[in-house]
Amino acid sequence: MGNLQDLLKQVDSFLNTSEHIDAVTPNSQDSKLQNALDQHFGYTTFRHGQEEIIESILNGENVFAVFPTGHGKSLCYQLPALMLPGTTVVVSPLISLMKDQVDALKARGIKSVSLINSTLALEDYRHEINKLKQGKVKLLYISPERLRSRRFLDLLNSILISLFVIDEAHCISQWGRDFRPAYLSICEAIELIYPKVIALFTATAPPDIRDDILNILNIDEPKVLVQGIERPNLRLKVVESHQKDQKYDLLENCMKELTGNGIIYAGRRNETEEIAEFLNNKGFRADYYNAGRELHERKQIQEAFFDDSENGLDIVVATNAFGMGIDKPNIRYIIHWTMTGTLEEYCQEIGRAGRDEILSDCILFYYPDDRDLHEWFIKESAPDKPSLLKLLEELEHLKGSGNFRLMAMEDLELRVGFKVSKIQVALTYLEKLGFLKRWHNVPSKISVSFRTKPNNEKPVQSELYAHLKERRVTDILSFCQDLELSPRFMMEQLAELQNEGHLQFWGKDDLMLIELLQDSELFSSLSEDQMGLGDYYKVKRSRIDRMVRYAVSEGCRMKVIRHYFGEEVSEDYRCNKCDRCNP
């Protein structure tokens, strides 16, 4: 098998070279790129770094691009997607951002673009799948969770994938700013669909996290391009507070000098409410946003913040729940009431300011005791061998079908006595160690409407259809136990029966689906060193140390940031925009 794979890679390498033989000629490449840029997007020039990334992709090189937020990284894969044969797959963590990109492309007249996610109505989903099968999709956006479906991977394997894009690539690493467990499925997907080129994009990945990502993916070494972490229109400033209540005086002084719309980030939910009340009493139009508010309230607040009329909001005071998707170009200032736990998180959040390239302010209120909050977060989520073992044993004792277990997170929380954050970290460790695998969340109960009986060409589906109709199944786990089916297999067959028009089912995806791969007895024999548990404290605390270093630095603050992200900076470098360079 290994020799066959090596041969296939050699053939593929030759085909890549043949396909793009004219692209390596500088003049023809420049001409093609400029024409395509103008034709599809109406631009006449590239931003710094974009052209180099696009050329690398077209020449068959894997790339890892670290670009600042708002610098136009999406163009770096959208343009080659339209120039390459076959389909480009874009994996992204947020549906709203994908939808915005798809809508923007269609508004430009680019129709060969598709977004497949769980929010699509049945007919829309079938329509998009048919387009994909017919080769009518050049650019396909999906969430990482979609890659947990073997049926969907088989579909991707049946078409030519010229480019596989991983947006927000830092989500792959456990040490990244916004780790997403579903991103661990990407490695398996790459091995199965065998894309010709892989491109990773992020705004926040220092060298150690980039190394961790590449180690997890196990792909050919990419060309790494770190471009423009510095945003010349952002003024950086740190104001130290020696008492917690002093921050209100600092805020009042800042607001006398700041104009326009802004975001104030706080670390605790109750602080967002208190700060918003303080600002309203001072005559500002402010509201608070955190995960504790109802969905419709959060939507109203976001819409009001985007409203630049006198009916809109001046300021949103928020936890980091007010995050991805905040693409308002004229945010004039970002204030951090609480120090963030990492420089990646800080840079991501200040990157929401000044996307219209007009001068904007980024101010951090540094209170040394704020470090305690992040230390507490680490302590609450840190894994250890006894907690991992307890979780694994509880999963084994749950009712299931074969090696599969279905459970609600709140039930698991009650069983093990851990907070959700610790359970999520523990599940990640158990998955990385090979003791379990997480699949799509599935409904505990479903309702079924029957249409046409499937033909006998697929006896498994015909049998399942008959059992469903006979029993009018509502409880997934009981049904699977009685028929000795895995919940994963059943849900995939249900989806296929629905896609082919034989039935329609409804149900809320309220249960985690976990497959147990190894037992707790084997786990008991491992040491904590073998599990790498000591790394958690070490890495997390080092991230806080680097954030504190930024806050107390006596030199250029942008120099600290650029060093952190692996950029080469001269010793006498000065950004001339921060409070150290320009007091």
* Per-residue confidence band for 70, with pLDDT thresholds at 50, 70 and 90: low
pLDDT at 8: 45
**Residues 248 and 276: beta-carbon distance below 8 Å:** no
Rg for the chain (alpha carbons), in Å? 26
pLDDT at 29: 63
Helix, strand or coil, per DSSP, at residue 286: strand
pLDDT > 70 fraction of the chain, expressed in percent and rounded: 93
What average pLDDT does this structure show over 409-423? 91
Tell whether the model's pLDDT for residue 25 goes beyond 90: no
What average pLDDT does this structure show over 456-472? 84
Would strands 512-516 and 436-438 be described as parallel, antiparallel, or unpaired?
antiparallel
pLDDT at 13: 43
Cα dist. 571→18, 85, 309, 557, 563 in Å? 45, 46, 46, 13, 11
- Fold classified for 234-374: Rossmann fold (3.40.50)
For the stretch 249-307, pLDDT in tens is 999 999 999 999 999 999 999 999 999 999 999 999 999 999 899 989 999 999 999 99
What average pLDDT does this structure show over 535-561? 92
- Residue for token digits 């360079």? 581
What average pLDDT does this structure show over 166-180? 81
For the stretch 337-355, pLDDT in tens is 999 999 988 988 998 999 8
Instruction: Of 217-231, 428-442, 476-490, 535-549, give the lowest mean pLDDT range.
Output: 217-231
Nearby residues of 574 by Cβ (< 8 Å), 6 or more positions away: 556, 559, 581
Tell whether the model's pLDDT for residue 139 goes beyond 90: yes
Whole-angstrom Cα distance, residue 545 to residue 541? Answer: 6
pLDDT at 176: 66
pLDDT at 177: 61
* Per-residue confidence band for 456, with pLDDT thresholds at 50, 70 and 90: confident
pLDDT at 282: 95
Instruction: Give 38 or 423, the one with higher predicted confidence.
Output: 423
Nearest to residue 537, comparing CAs of 382, 376, 370, 369?
A: 382
Length of the chain: 583
Whole-angstrom Cα distance, residue 392 to residue 426? Answer: 9
What average pLDDT does this structure show over 171-186? 78
pLDDT > 90 fraction of the chain, expressed in percent and rounded: 49
> What CATH number should be reported for the domain whose range is 13-226?
3.40.50.300
* Per-residue confidence band for 529, with pLDDT thresholds at 50, 70 and 90: confident
- Residue for token digits 């670009």? 67
pLDDT at 505: 87
pLDDT at 28: 56
pLDDT at 440: 76
Q: What element of type H or E holds 162?
A: strand 161-166
Nearest to residue 105, comparing CAs of 126, 68, 79?
A: 79
Q: Select, from the ranges 224-233, 328-337, 471-480, the one with the highest average predicted confidence (pLDDT).
A: 328-337
For residue 555, the 8-state DSSP code is S
Strand positions, DSSP E, 443-543: 447-450, 503-506, 512-516
**Residues 458 and 502: beta-carbon distance below 8 Å:** no
Strand partners, 141: 90, 115
What average pLDDT does this structure show over 315-339? 90
What average pLDDT does this structure show over 227-245? 87
pLDDT, averaged across the chain: 87
Instruction: Of 74-83, 95-104, 556-565, give the lowest mean pLDDT range.
Output: 95-104
Nearby residues of 301 by Cβ (< 8 Å), 6 or more positions away: 287, 288, 289, 293, 313, 316
What average pLDDT does this structure show over 314-336? 89
When the candidates are 3.40.50.620, 1.20.1250.20, 1.10.275.30, 1.10.10.10, the CATH number that belongs to 384-441+515-532 is 1.10.10.10
Tell whether the model's pLDDT for residue 15 goes beyond 70: no
